[in-house]
Chain A
Amino acid sequence: MKQKLIVIGNGMAGMRTVEELLKLEPDLYDVTVFGSEPHPNYNRIMLSPVLAGDKQVDDIILNTLDWYKDNGITLHSGEEIVDIDRLGQKIRSRDGSELSYDRLLIATGSRPFIIPVPGADKRGVIGFRDIEDVGTMLDYAANHEHAVVIGGGLLGLEAANGLRTQGMDVTVVHLLDSLMERQLDKPASTLLKATLEARGLKFLMQAQTSEILGEDRVTGVRFADGSEIPADLVVMAVGIRPNITLAKDAGIHCERGIVVNDTMQTFDPKIYAVGECVQHRGDCYGLVAPLFEQAKVAANHLAQMGIGRYQGSVTSTKLKVTGVDLFSAGEFNEGDGDETLVLQDPSQGVYKKLVIRDDKIKGAVLYGDTLDGTWYFTLMREGTDISAFRSTILFGQHDVGDAGHGDASASVMALPPNAEICGCNGVCKGEIVDAIGKKGLFTLEEVRAHTKASSSCGSCTGLVEAILAGTVGEGYDQAPSKKGMCGCTEHSHDDVIAAIQKGELKTQQAVREALDWKNPDGCAACRPALNYYLLANWPGEYQDDAQSRFINERAHGNIQRDGTYSVVPRMFGGLCTANDLRAIADVSDKYQVPEMKVTGGQRIDLFGVKKEDLPAVWKDLSDAGFVSGHAYGKALRTVKTCAGKNWCRFGTQDSTGLGVKLEQMTWGSWMPHKFKLAVSGCPRNCAEATIKDFGVVCVDSGYELHVGGNGGIKVRVTDLLCKVETEEQVLEYCAAFIQLYREQAHYLERTAPWVERVGLNHIKQQVLDDADNRKALYERFRYSQTFAQVDPWKARADGEAAHEFTPLKIA
Chain B
Amino acid sequence: MTDWIEIAALDDIPRLGARVIRTDTMDVAVFRTRDDRVFALRDACPHKGGPLSQGIVHGTTVTCPLHNWKIDLASGEALGPDEGCANVFATRVDGGRVYLALKAGEAAA
A interface residue numbers (CB < 8 A to B): 425, 449-452, 455-456, 519-524, 527-528, 546-551, 554-555, 559, 561, 563, 803, 807-811
Contacts and interface: CB of A to CB of B under 8 A. Distances in A.
Nearest to A560: B66
Contacts of A519: 58-59
Contact of B58 (A449, A527, A550, A811): A527
Contacts of B55: 524, 551
Contacts of B23: 810
A151 B60 CA distance: 56
Most A CB within 10 A of own CB, among B20, B23, B51, B56: B56
Interface in B65-103: 65-68, 70, 80-81
20 contacts: A449-B81, A452-B67, A452-B81, A523-B58, A523-B63, A524-B56, A527-B56, A527-B58, A547-B15, A547-B16, A547-B56, A550-B65, A551-B65, A559-B51, A563-B50, A563-B51, A803-B12, A809-B22, A810-B5, A811-B5
A675 B59 CA distance: 32
Contacts of B30: 808
Size band of the interface chain B makes with A: 35 or more
A521 B20 contact: no
Nearest to A446: B81
B80 to A, nearest CB: 6
Given A559-B66, A563-B51, A807 B56 contact: no
Interface of B: 5-8, 12-17, 19-23, 27, 30, 34, 48, 50-51, 54-59, 61, 63, 65-68, 70, 80-81
A528 B34 CA distance: 17
Contact of A521 (B21, B58, B80, B81): B58
Nearest to B58: A521
A548 B56 contact: yes
Most A CB within 10 A of own CB, among B13, B16, B80: B16
The 4 tightest CB contacts between A and B, nearest first, are A524-B63, A521-B58, A551-B54, A524-B56
A521 B59 contact: yes
B100 to A, nearest CB: 8
B7 A810 contact: yes
B14 A803 contact: yes
Given A449-B80, A551-B65, A559 B54 contact: yes
A808 B66 contact: no
Contacts of A520: 34, 59
A523 B13 CA distance: 19
Given A455-B68, A803-B12, A521 B34 contact: yes
A807 B34 contact: no
B87 to A, nearest CB: 17
Given A449-B80, A811-B6, A550 B56 contact: yes
A547 B81 CA distance: 25
B14 A546 contact: yes
A207 B37 CA distance: 74
A436 to B, nearest CB: 13
A554 B51 CA distance: 14
Contacts of B54: 551, 554-555, 559, 563
A139 to B, nearest CB: 40
Contacts of A563: 50-51, 54
